[in-house]
Structure 1
């Protein structure tokens, strides 16, 4: 078992440029301190500099980091593409083992909308490194976890509405932030 009855675990998954990182940042901004962000890109690409493949080391690192944060009393957001065929066993075990409230969300954004959102990113260097061809190759339509634990949020739900919805559904909208 991991975390406490009071901790919240939030998993946000979806294709590249679907809004996962923006939602995670919005949750932290709205909630305040005591909300850990466990980002797949950070752990996989920055910490390990590893390619995303089945059985890769980042899967265990994401799991261990989320468990550590929950055990330390942090509400925790795990966010990333987190392909179901590679990450489902870890994510479903994490949800099953968490003592508190756990909620999983899948951002269902079409490939066309993904391309539009990607093109609007302000980081020109990133846009030259990650092309539309990359996005097409990475894209998986409705790559849901097999256990059916995810709430699907479609592209019509804007950033602010999605953040408010997740805060309300997890009960974080009524939990005071702890200034650590």
Structure 2
């Protein structure tokens, strides 16, 4: 049915947080920091996990992982979890899904783009502890994947630059999303 309102998702009390950025910009670290600081009842929906591990799919326009990310986030929100969706999530491929998810969410939604320059992503990438990953993902890959300021349309995102520390970024997102004022549920 064209023009129909999207099915709503979550509750007025759930929080949806989207963290995007280039490879090695700190997205997974921010998501882990949010979960560590908040506690239980916060689902982390990671693009890499669903695309690379669950589906073993290449990142391409129209990929199956786009729908799986959407379904997973919606399921968690509908079951009372707060959700962090994190990944590179290129705007041209994932933007429509993210926009629809944010529009459909009944609670507070906040989207963030970690704006880290290419040279800093290469430096951060080299510090990853997974040597097997470092053998397979080279600075050449980072060059191919890098998109400067790949922002979602409609000023949907808050840009956080490379000068923000991990703790500072986590604090900011907790505060701006209101998660710092919510008691976690012990599931």
Number of the residue aligned with 1:43: 50
Give the conservation status (yes or no) of the 8 Å contact 1:92–1:147. Answer: no
Number of the residue aligned with 1:146: 153
- Please point out which of 65, 68, 71 is paired with 2:72: 65
Q: TM (normalized to structure 1)?
A: 0.99
Rounded Cα–Cα distance in structure 2 between residues aligned with 1:85 and 1:62: 15
Rounded Cα–Cα distance in structure 2 between residues aligned with 1:39 and 1:122: 19
- RMSD (Å), alpha carbons: 0.4
Number of the residue aligned with 1:52: 59
Rounded Cα–Cα distance in structure 1 between residues aligned with 2:149 and 2:135: 27
**CA positional deviation for 1:143:** 0.1
Runs of at least 5 residues in structure 1 that lack an aligned partner in the other structure:
none
Count how many residue pairs are aligned between Structure 1 and Structure 2: 180
Q: Map of 1:1-180 to 2, 5 A cutoff?
A: 1-180=8-187
**CA positional deviation for 1:4:** 0.0
Give the conservation status (yes or no) of the 8 Å contact 1:32–1:177. Answer: yes
Runs of at least 5 residues in structure 2 that lack an aligned partner in the other structure:
1-7
Query: Which deviations, in whole Å up to 9, do the C-alpha atoms of 1:71-108 show, x marking residues without a partner?
Result: 00000000000000000000000000000000000000
Rounded Cα–Cα distance in structure 1 between residues aligned with 2:44 and 2:110: 15
